[in-house]
Amino acid sequence: MKVSEFNYELPEELIAQTPIKQRDESRLMILNKKDQTIEHKIFKDIINYLKPGDVLVRNNTKVIPARIYGKKDTGAKVEFLLLNNIEGDLWESIVRPGNKLHVGTKVIFGEGSLEAEILEILPGGTRKVKFSYEGIFNEILDKIGLMPLPPYIHEELKEKDRYQTVYAKYKGSAAAPTAGLHFTPELFKKLQEKGIEIANVTLHVGIGTFRPVKEDTVEAHEMHSEHFYIKPEDCEIINKAKQEGRRVIAIRNNLM
């Protein structure tokens, strides 16, 4: 299957640059495959399309402020995008400009609160980086890091929490599971009152979100792995629903 078959024109003026004030008042498109019809609704209307007994599975990963800007000892400015915590203070990162950041290069961030050394060039051009610092790494990131917004968003994000789902819990993603951004605590309460069960998985969104498909065919594209975890109690909720013939509906990264 050719990648070109998925090309479509999306006018830039139709891409929202700032989040709507009320999350659940975003637009919602309902595609009915059976009737071949399309309806345009408001997101909170989703409650009308879910039934008592349904299980809604959500990804409770939390985005880290993974985009950091620093300087080499020459004064040249560089950008790191943290993708994956390999172990301890070792991270896989996208670096820019890549042709200026070789093995052994050292970079300072946040006026010296964080330092990095490039240890290895990994397949695909990412870098294995070791960070050194005093204090707590996540607290330093919270101070100096920016949310890694998609490349088609040009406006500055004024509130970091708007690029998190309201149920985000476990830090580790380089991007938000965006379909979940439209849910609110009030909407979840109404869903549960209607008899809809909630189950959680943790899947840290990684490099695949940022890398375009460069192959001519879908089959030739190399998919990157992502870390995930699911608790036994959530497995039980999902498995029980499937055994009883009830619907299990996943809130995926960009669609349901």
What are the extents of the domains in the chain? 23-63+152-250, 67-144
Lowest mean pLDDT among 131-140, 182-191, 223-232: 223-232
Tokens of 199: 């189950």
CA distance 122 to 93: 9
Of residues 190, 188, 222, the one with CA closest to residue 208 = 222
Task: Tell me if 116 sits within 8 A of 130, measured CB to CB.
Answer: yes
Averaged pLDDT score across all residues of the chain: 90
Asked whether the predicted pLDDT for residue 210 surpasses 70, the reply is no
Give 173's strand partners.
63
Mean pLDDT of 150-175: 85
Asked whether the predicted pLDDT for residue 256 surpasses 70, the reply is no
Number of H helices, E strands in the chain: 3, 14
Mean pLDDT of 228-256: 88
Strands 248-250 and 106-109: unpaired
The residue ranking higher by pLDDT, 52 or 3, is: 52
Q: Which residues contact 84 (CB under 8 A, 6 or more apart)?
A: 91, 92, 174, 204, 206, 207, 227
67-144 falls under which CATH superfamily? QueA-like (2.40.10.240)
Mean pLDDT of 179-201: 96
Instruction: Work out whether the CA dihedral 82, 173, 42, 248 comes out positive or negative.
Output: positive
Task: Say if 23-63+152-250 and 67-144 have the same CATH topology.
Answer: no
Confidence grade of residue 254 (pLDDT, cut at 50, 70, 90)? very low
Looking at residue 253, what is its pLDDT? 56
Provide the Cα torsion 243, 230, 164, 171; round to 10°.
180
User: Regarding the domain delimited by 23-63+152-250, which CATH topology (the fold level of the hierarchy) does it fall under?
Assistant: QueA-like (3.40.1780)
Asked whether the predicted pLDDT for residue 36 surpasses 80, the reply is yes
